[in-house]
Amino acid sequence: MFEFLQSINLSPIIVGGAAISTVLVLVRIIRGQRPVYRAYRQYLGRSILLGLEFLVAADIIRTVAVTPTLDSVAVLAAIILIRTFLSFSLELEITGRWPWQTSKAPSAESDPALGSKGARA
């Protein structure tokens, strides 16, 4: 299964995170916690962010393990820039703030209106 996911360029972490996110949202639906859509987006976004971080680390290790050439380092730099931009964009979408900002926007875990621990809407 792992080789299949790698062959289609999907990280098992992203796929697993999407599955876990779906289960968490189904539990929220069964418990009657609302809104479900925003919580699902946050859970899914976090799993994608984690997967992107692992993919960047894998690319760095792959480039260092093989004899690095100027071309491979340039490709690595481009990949890291693109994935970093995606990570920042996802972080902004999930939390409503840039990673370097300190004020925290409500999340599915911290906002009672989103159905945090024990709260029902």
- Is pLDDT at 62 greater than 60 in this prediction? yes
The torsion angles phi and psi of 2, rounded to 5 degrees, stand at -60, -45
pTM over 0.75: no
The torsion angles phi and psi of 53, rounded to 5 degrees, stand at -65, -40
Q: What is the pLDDT of residue 107?
A: 57
More confident of the two residues 78 and 111: 78
- Is pLDDT at 103 greater than 70 in this prediction? no
What is the pLDDT averaged over residues 94-117? Answer: 61
Q: What is the pLDDT of residue 104?
A: 58
Cis peptide before 12 (omega within 30 of 0): no
Q: Smallest Cα–Cα separation from 108: which of 50, 31, 56?
A: 31
What is the pLDDT averaged over residues 62-91? Answer: 84
- Is pLDDT at 23 greater than 60 in this prediction? yes
8: which 2 tokens? 């289609």
pLDDT category at 47 given cuts 50, 70, 90 is: confident
What is the pLDDT averaged over residues 24-33? Answer: 89
- Is pLDDT at 90 greater than 90 in this prediction? no
More confident of the two residues 70 and 4: 70
